[in-house]
Amino acid sequence: MGLALWLAAGLLIATAGIPRADEAAPIAQIKKVTGQAAVLRSGERRPANVGDTLLVKDVIETGPDGAIGITFIDNTVFSAGPSSQIALDEFQFDSNNFRGAMLADMRQGTLAVVSGDIARSAPGAMKVKTPTAILGVRGTTFAVQVYGDH
Amino acid sequence: MMWRTILALASMVLLAGCPRQALFVVLPNAEGGGVGAITVENGESVTTLDKPFATAEARAGGTAPTAETQENISVIFRSAIAAQPILPHHFRLYFILGSNELTPESKVAYRAVFDDIKQRPVYEIEVIGFTDTLGDLPYNQGLSLARAAAIRGALVRDGLDRQAISIAGRGKRDLLVATADQTPEPRNRRVEITVR
């Protein structure tokens, strides 16, 4: 009994400092905003502000005059032009070994990307989905346009 | 060979009849880092783009390489590229043996790190400390963390936001230059800093 308690306490201490693969952990930060830009989270739309953090499943949106630039924790950089909608569907990253996986759903608009540690970690680790095709990223700089009226 | 050409031509003709749904472009790598590549896959075909300004398009019939002028590409993506944040940058600073004090050269290099951070409207900084293999594991774990903490302390003293700076120590487990145990090596006595 006494030993079990000590073991449990030891485990608690041992795990306290390890970041969990938490759904609520920030995956990116908004670095730049021009015109109208918003973040759609859990069905709620809020204006995008420089310095705000983003979570997995967030959707970034820009208006007809809007643009937004964000940097992910793996150092991937996204920047979207006007009338864009991009969902951050999947994101996992382990900063100890620089491995992870990422899937962005590009629904509409223009997106320029400079890939980071995730794309470097393994072929196929980073993907951008469009309505008709899937883009696999080997690195590093590319752009995608998805037309709105498909 | 000939069949492949005919097939490619046929698919281009078929694709040309449908409206374009998406455009994919490889851009010259930012800050001169190598040659980039992407693949575009639609279930049936995989198109690989591995040269600057190589372009593919998706139409109802599938995806295929296409040609788009650099002028058109820069017009289409002008706003997206203009919205690009300052890219993340990496730095290494080196320390005096057994100490959390920077070498004289790295004291100068520290200013470049600070200047890089200062030009960013918002920033996140990661500082990871390392040691050479002289001494035991616990000692080097402590020393590596002390090195990272010293850099955070300096950045905070210089006016940066402590909340935006994370630190970690990897001790002697992650050498930049492989050495035997108990070997002094200046290049392993370092912090690696990511600024984004």
**How far off is chain B from A6, nearest CA to CA, in Å?**
23
B117: which 2 tokens? 């951070």
Domain that holds residue B28: 2-82
Shared domain check, B119 and B45: no
Q: Does A134 touch chain B (CB under 8 A)?
A: yes
B191 shares a domain with B94: yes
Shortest Cα distance from B120 to chain A (angstroms)?
8
CB-based contact B177:B188 (threshold 8 Å): yes
For residue A10, CA distances in Å to A1, A47, B141, B157, B191 come to: 14, 44, 20, 36, 30
- Same domain for B97 and B61: no
Residue B96 sits in the same domain as residue B76: no
Q: For chain B, what is the mean pLDDT?
A: 91
Please compute, for residue B53, the number of CA atoms within 13 A of its CA located in the half-sphere on the CB side.
9
pLDDT in tens, A41-92: 999 999 999 999 999 999 999 999 999 999 999 999 999 999 999 999 999 9
In this structure, what are the phi and psi dihedrals at residue B159, rounded to the nearest 5 degrees? 105, 5
Q: Evaluate the omega torsion of the peptide bond into residue A140 and state whether it is cis, within 30 degrees of 0.
A: yes
User: Distance (Å, rounded) from C-alpha B167 to C-alpha B147?
Assistant: 9
Average pLDDT over residues A113-117: 95
- B chain contacts of residue A34, beta-carbon cutoff 8 Å: 82-83
The first and second tokens of residue A41, run together, are 């989270």
Q: Find the helix or strand (DSSP H, E) in which B14 lies.
A: helix B2-16
| Surface of A (94-133) touching B: CB under 8 A | 95, 106, 109-112, 114-116, 130-133
DSSP annotation of B88: P
- pLDDT above 80: residue A15: no
At which residue do the structure tokens 């739309």 appear? A45
Per-residue pLDDT, A19:
45
Note whether B17 and B103 are same-domain residues.
no
CA neighbor of B100 nearest in space, from B129, B125, B134, B133 = B129
B96 plus B77 within the same structural domain: no
Taking only the tens place, the pLDDT of each residue in A38-53 is 999 999 999 999 999 9
Q: Residue A95: its pLDDT value, please? A: 87
Q: Is the confidence metric ipTM above 0.85 for this complex?
A: yes
Dump pLDDT digits (tens) for A117-141: 999 999 899 999 999 899 999 888 9
Is the pLDDT confidence value at B44 over 70?
Answer: yes
**pLDDT > 80? residue A150:** no
Answer yes or no: do B95 and B187 share one domain. Answer: yes
Residues B12 and B31 occupy one common structural domain: yes
The 10 Å Cβ neighbour count of residue A43 is 5
- Cα–Cα distance measured from residue B161 to residue A70, given in angstroms and rounded to the nearest whole number: 19
CA dist B186 and B100 (Å) reads: 13
Other C-beta atoms lying within 10 Å of the C-beta of residue B60: 13
Query: Does A32 contact B121 at a Cβ distance shorter than 8 Å?
Result: yes
> In this structure, are B129 and B96 located in the same domain?
yes
User: Is residue A28 over pLDDT 80?
Assistant: yes
DSSP H or E stretch at residue A28: strand A28-34
Tell me: pLDDT of A20 over 60: no
Residue with tokens 């851009």: B27
Interface A–B counts its CB contacts (< 8 A) at 157
User: CB-CB: which of B22, B120, B194 is closest to A75?
Assistant: B194
Tell which wins on pLDDT, A18 or B134.
B134
Q: Is the confidence at residue A148, as pLDDT, over 90? A: no
Identify whether residues B37 and B18 lie together within a single domain. Answer: yes
Count of the separate structural domains present in chain B: 2
Q: What is the pTM of this model?
A: 0.87
Indicate the residue type of B157.
R
Q: What are phi and psi of B146, to 5 degrees?
A: -65, -35
The one-character DSSP state at B95 is B
The per-residue pLDDT for range B91-118, each reduced to its tens digit, is 999 999 999 999 999 999 999 999 999 9
* B38 contacts on A by Cβ (under 8 Å): 135-138, 142
Q: What is the pLDDT of residues B126-179, one digit of tens each?
A: 999 999 999 999 999 999 999 999 999 999 999 999 999 999 999 999 999 999
Contact A10, B101 (CB under 8 A): no
Answer yes or no: are the C-beta atoms of B85 and A71 closer than 8 Å: yes
Residue A28 pairs in a beta bridge with A54, A72
Is beta strand A99-114 parallel, antiparallel or unpaired with respect to A126-129?
parallel
CA distance B83 to chain A (A): 5
| Set of chain B residues whose Cβ sits within 8 Å of the Cβ of A30 | 122
Is the minimum CB–CB distance between A34 and chain B shorter than 8 Å? yes
C-alpha B105 chain-centroid distance: 25
Provide the chain A residues 62-101 that lie in CB contact (below 8 A) with chain B.
67-71, 73, 75, 77, 79-82, 84, 95
pLDDT in tens, B8-43: 655 555 555 678 899 999 998 877 666 789 999 988
Within this chain, do residues B101 and B143 fall inside the same structural domain, yes or no? yes
3-state helix, strand, coil in chain B (%, to 5): 35, 25, 40
Separation of alpha carbons B133 and B179, rounded Å = 8
pLDDT, position B85: 97
Point out the residue among A31, A80, A135 whose CB comes nearest to the CB of B38: A135
Q: Where among B59, B82, B105 does a domain terminate?
A: B82
Q: How far apart are CA B165 and CA B158, in angstroms?
A: 13
Amino acid B9: pLDDT: 59
